Amino acid sequence: MNANTEIYSLTVNGKSHQVKDSWVGESLLYVLRERLGLPGSKGACEQGECGSCTVIMDGDAVCSCLVMAATAIDADIRTVEDLASDGVLTEVQQAFITEGGVQCGFCTPGLVVAIEHLLSKNPEPSEIEIKEAISGNICRCTGYGRIFEAVDKAITVRKVNRT
């Protein structure tokens, strides 16, 4: 694919990345995964229905499969790879592990990003607010029960850690 290419740069996880030789039709998800070496965001529907590709763009949770990468040149993009720092997992990540929120794990990165985003805006959401916030993230394995447990645990631990 050499036609219609242009070099542009994207700011992902605080770092500037040059995107070269790309086709302008590529989604942000494709560029993250295939060009920038950030395969943590997953693709499962290409329609913004499943949330597996959720990233934070200028503070909003978005489906990166629906964003054309070349339109994101001025945005601050944060992916699942940005969450743990120096191998220290966030409370949400840790709670997914201990509460059984992970099975096949394909939905997990998107869910973790969506929940981090929720808790950053609303540290003590109600049950229905949690369900609404993650209703755009499909999980086919868990039936969500252990994921709800993980969110509850993360909220509790976060509260202790941050007071």
Partner 1 sequence: MSSAVDTSTRRDILGASAIRPDSSAKVQGKFEFSSDLHAENMLWGATLRSPHPYARIIRIDLSAAYKITGVEAIITAEDVPGKKTYGLISSDQPVFAQDYVRYVGEPIAAVAADHPETCRRALAAIKVVYEILEPLTDGDLATLPSTPAIHPDGNVIRRQQIITGDQNLQGEIVVEGTYEIGMQDQAFLGLEAALAIPDSGGKGIEMFVATQWLHEDQKQIAACLDFECENVRLTLGGVGGAFGAREDISLQVHCALLALRTSRPIKMQYGREESFYGHVHRHPAKISIRHHATREGEILRIEARLVFDGGAYASTSSAVLINGITHIQGPYRCPNATIDGYAVRTNNPPCGAMRGFGVVQACFAHESQMDKLAAACGLSPVEIRLRNAMVTGDKLITGQIIESVAPVARCIRETDAIELPEPLAESANQLEFVGGSGLTSLPQNIVRGVGWGVSIKNLMYSETFDDFATARCQLKDGVATLKFATVEVGQGFVVLAPQIARSVLGVDDVVLDTVDTGIGSAGSTSASRQTWMSGGAVDGACRLVRQRLFEHVGKKYNIDPLRLVIEDTDVVDMIGDFRISVVEASSGVLIDETFEHHHRPTEELDENGQGNCHVAFAFVAHRAVVDVDVELGLVKVIQIATAQDVGRVLNPIAALGQIEGGIAQGLGLAVMEEIVLDNGKMRNPSFTDYLLPTALDAPSVVAVMIEEPEPQAPLGAKGIGEPPCISVTPAIAAAIRNATGKELSRVPVRPQDICF
Question: Given the rule CB under 8 A, which of 6-14, 70-78, 124-132, 153-161 is the region that contacts partner 1?
Answer: 124-132
Give the nearest distance from C-beta 102 to partner 1 in angstroms.
4
Residue 63: CA count within 13 A, CB half-sphere: 17
Q: Is 68 in the site for partner 1 (CB under 8 A)?
A: no
Residue among 72 and 144 whose Cβ is closer to partner 1 = 144
Q: According to the binding rule CB under 8 A, does residue 130 interact with partner 1?
A: yes
When the beta carbons of 71 and 98 are compared against partner 1, the nearer one is 98
Query: CB under 8 A: which stretch of 11-19, 70-78, 126-134, 155-163 binds partner 1?
Result: 126-134
Total Cβ atoms within 10 A of residue 25 = 11
- What residues pair up with 10 in beta bridges, in sequence order? 17
Which residue, 80, 70, 56, 53, is CA-closest to 136? Answer: 53
Any idea which residue has 């030789």 for tokens? 21
